[in-house]
Structures are given as C-alpha cells and as structure tokens.
Structure 1
Amino acid sequence: MDRGTEDKLARKGRHIGLVIAVTMVLWLGMTLFIGPALGLPGRYALLFDLAALAGFVYAGINIVQLWRLRQDSQR
C-alpha cells in the first residue's frame, strides 16, 4: 500500500471518528441540557433523535466505505 492510500484511509477514519463524536455530543447536549433549558416541548426531542440518527447512518455508510477501501488496497 502506498503512502497516498494510507493517508486517504487515515483521513477518512479521522473524519468518521469526528462525525460520531460531534453527533453524540450535540445529541446529548440538545436533548438533556439545552432543550429543557429553553423550555422546548418534548416533540423536539424526537427531532434531535432523528438528526442524530441521520449522523450515525452517515457514519455507518462511511465505515463500510472505509472497510471496502482497506480490502481493495490489501489486494
């Protein structure tokens, strides 16, 4: 595996980790602290849950893409 491919895989892995971490922090912050502090109704919690789910689905798709890139680069 050449250096360019390794850098590409590492960059994609860092991106996935950052997406997961930021999604989790924002989701917990909005549903546990910021939403209740602003007095938002409970239905907004569902909106935050769906937004977090979208972030996790995006990360999952990217994890599969990363896995396939690693499999192709090892051949």
Structure 2
Amino acid sequence: MDNIKNTVNYIKESLAGSASTASKEANKNVAKDDNASLGTRAQAAGDAISDKFDEQKHNRQADVHKEAAKH
C-alpha cells in the first residue's frame, strides 16, 4: 500500500514540477518582452524566481517519493 501512495505522490509532484517549469518559462518570456511595461516585466521576473524555487521543491519531493516507492 505504501508503494502505491509513494507512486501516486511521485506522479503528483512530477506534474507540479512540470507546471512550475512551464510557468517559470512563461514568466521569463514576459520579463524579456520589450513591449511589456517595466512593472509587468519586474513582476514576471519575480514570479519566475518563485516558480524556480517551486520547481526545485517539487522535483526534490518527487525524487524522495520515487526512492521510497522502490523499497
């Protein structure tokens, strides 16, 4: 039963990490957009940094669940 829970948690964390990666990339593109206002670009840059932390957190958790599912 624990293996199933760890596998499900691995999948959930992997998907959350992928979503954070996509959001990070979108925010990076906005931050680089010369047509966007300075405030919008600054907000997008801050959001990209936050997304990067979320991405790393989810990927670490996915790795933990993946290893736990192996045992």
TM superposition score normalised by structure 1: 0.66
Q: Percent identity?
A: 4
Provide the secondary structure at the position in 2 that maps to 1:53.
helix
Assess, with a 3 A threshold, how the Cα gap between structure 1 residues 55 and 72 changes in structure 2: closer, same or farther: same
The structural deviation recorded for 1:66 is 1.4
Runs of 4+ displaced beyond 6 Å: none
- What pairs up with 1:1-75 in 2 under 5 angstroms? 2-32=3-33, 35=36, 40-41=37-38, 44-75=40-71
User: What's the Cα RMSD here?
Assistant: 2.5
| Number of residue-to-residue matches in the alignment | 70
The structural deviation recorded for 1:59 is 0.9
TM superposition score normalised by structure 2: 0.69
The structural deviation recorded for 1:9 is 1.2
Q: Is the 8 A contact 1:31 1:48 kept in 2?
A: no
Q: Which has the larger radius of gyration?
A: 1
5+ residue gaps, structure 2, are none
5+ residue gaps, structure 1, are none
